[in-house]
Chain A
């Protein structure tokens, strides 16, 4: 990994060397969007920055988010961070802002009117949680976390229709088993279990999800809805196959693609993967929001803006903000990446059918922030660990599970 960081630094150094010849404001962009479709998405932004008279300096870490985070931390500690840094938006920005190393771009973005059509819960992920006027990160696109990807041939063969509630799915499961299919495709890794569970909680109703995770209502942690969510999770843990432990999400998705499993709950990125597997939408597979409640669990991807001490640093950042908040750019970015634009007034006609479904729901106010955006990393880690353990140990009852989960949540928020 240090090799990759080294490479990233090397790239940055080499590219900054060429910058002295020009006078265009330079903007260093730290990101890990290097694979196929993702690199096409980042190119949309790069072209936009160049067209607005900025100079794009690419600092990519092909190793992923951890590497980028390490590079950002090193840059911040050394006083020379990249001017713009890609991230899955969440409380991390608030933690950095509390250290005084981030630039408040709220004033600039508001003045330009960029924020009017971005949902409030998404903007809140870029604040430090105390002062709503200060904004340190902006969303460029939303990744729907709670899509249900199902196999059309499987449902046709079993003579069933995709479920609209979890209890309906639990009732379908024996028939799917009988027909020789795996009811639930699941990769039992901590983050996938966490994602599934949050989708189940959302299925208990958006108001309950809001009370439990967003407004931290103490009574929600002991509510019967939580026990019910754990009951569903326990039942689901019995509906997968023996190969589930530590299976990656795309290997798991393959079960749906091959028509061996009925459905998988996974984020919007799975849609592009199904396309890559050569499977056709609406004949091989279909998508819907996860059972229970037609609410989009919104994961925001965006950029955060560290404080810079170079003379044209802020000018470069401003050009970048102009680019990323342009609705045309946001649409083009999301078309490539398979996400939906963060601005609800952006054109969505070019998006895939599944993305349009999510985009319309978000526009109609049927969106809720993902837990990364509303819970601190400490409590999120503890909750994920607990769910992981609950999934694997069938001896823990839903009642005990809900009690312990609620205790962790209320003790740490």
Chain B
């Protein structure tokens, strides 16, 4: 493949990455929370979309909604269970609990969906056309459009809107926010529901590109970490740029160096960023 094709590939991949990471970005930037079960929530989202289309026979747009609803419910459930830890801001326990949730989700998915790899077949992925020598599908365009739409909406809501201001106030000082009459619990629940819904949306759109297995999700987690750290923790616009940048890097690395080690290469990027700017990232307050 030539350079132009890899660049087009990278742009599509980059929008997919940005979309996968957006839930974490909001979680971190708005509520100072983390979710190490993110990858498994992606996996569940993909399986829900597949389950709604193949065994149930629902049309793809409805399947996307089913996945998003399931993701939001899952996010609500996770946050409801660990609410006390969240209110205590016990990040150490939150990390371990979300990791435990990931493990439970994987076990539950194996139980429900079995070990056979599934393919999510969608109408847009069958529509193919050529662009500067590269074959792309309507599904790819859908991913790009969805990513741009979600990021534009978020930028309006989180960084400018009143909702975002409220949530950021909670992130900054939950106790003070409570005194100011904000229902802190509801904000935390809403943010986690958004995280679940966003990653499920990403899964329903991106998963048709690869086989769906209960063991997927780990690569998505690395991608999310790199995007979140690279983009300046919690920054919406930064995440978008970081996602696209990482997509281009991965496509070029996979196309010209080694497709097997793209995850390792992403990690190398993460490492380089952390070594170059550890102070600003360690504080976790890059953008407010």
Task: Report whether chain A binds chain B.
Answer: no
* B contact residues vs A (CB 8 Å cutoff): none
* A contact residues vs B (CB 8 Å cutoff): none
